[in-house]
Amino acid sequence: MSEHPLCVVFQGEPGAYSHLACQTLYPNAQIQACATFVQALQKVEQGIADLAVIPLENTTAGRVEEIYRQVPKTHLHIIAEHFQPVNHCLMALAGATPSYVMSHPQALAQCHDHILEHGLEARAEFDTAGAAQLLAQSGDLNGAAIASELAAQLYNLEIVQTHFEDVTGNTTRFLIFAREPSPPVYDATQKYITSLLFDVRNIPAALYKALGGFATNGLNLIKIESYMDGKTLNSSRFHIDVACHLDDPAMQRAMEELAYFSNTVRWLGTYPAHPFRSL
């Protein structure tokens, strides 16, 4: 008897860029759409799904705020990262002469100049794939949508123009969450990322002291995010990504200093650095 196919979940409508990332990463998996990030993460926690592919940040639009609020609430582990190029496509029904275009507000902003060049009225919708679906269901020949090529295929829309975004190189970083950690075996010749969550002690220069171990051990912090922990206005939580494997001796020394100056430290995961980082 064969094992059940891998089940991977994402947030959004079928055809969303998260859906495209799932297909790129796991082409043979059973891929399911979820209405919210919370629902996607919970399905993995409950064992209904194996993995959740979740966007963390975009080179143009910045971080996905909701994810930073959800990560501390989940018991899942980060097992990989993925960088997905975003190719916005202008699409419409066959024979259409669009006067307006629908999409997620961020997509509309990323295509602002091209929208003006085409003389289109911008209309905001909940997400990109949802806008494509709405257009297909409406049958409106005056409308257009900005979404992925996959969305055009799923909803039988014609692509009027690919790479409709104003700035090339638009890319989204995704994290892959699983119930159990699966850090790669440490190899000093390879590049890794370790993600940590911590909150510092209430002492002067606590953050400076907590992060000092990374500097003295020659480690590169490639990301640091701070946000309130939801309890008091005087307490902050920090998310950092370090370009190092957890088992590297230098990382172990830095972790000792971090733990000393922090109330709590949570290891989220260690995983290979994506090739995109070397471009």
Active site positions, annotated: 172, 174
Nearest residue to 54 (alpha-carbon basis) of 18, 12, 85: 18
* 197 bridge partner residues: 239, 266
Separation of alpha carbons 57 and 40, rounded Å: 17
Q: To which H or E segment does residue 124 belong?
A: strand 121-124
Within 8 A by CB and 6+ apart from 187, the residues are none
Separation of alpha carbons 242 and 121, rounded Å: 43
Q: Are strands 51-58 and 7-11 parallel, antiparallel or unpaired?
A: parallel
Task: Check if the beta carbon of residue 268 is closer than 8 Å to that of residue 75.
Answer: no
- Number of residues that this document lists for the chain: 279
Other CB atoms within 10 A of residue 245 CB: 24
Separation of alpha carbons 49 and 41, rounded Å: 9
Q: Residue 183 carries which DSSP code?
A: P
Separation of alpha carbons 165 and 87, rounded Å: 7
Q: And the tokens for 119? A: 């003389």
Nearest residue to 258 (alpha-carbon basis) of 270, 269, 246: 246
Q: To which H or E segment does residue 62 belong?
A: strand 62-63
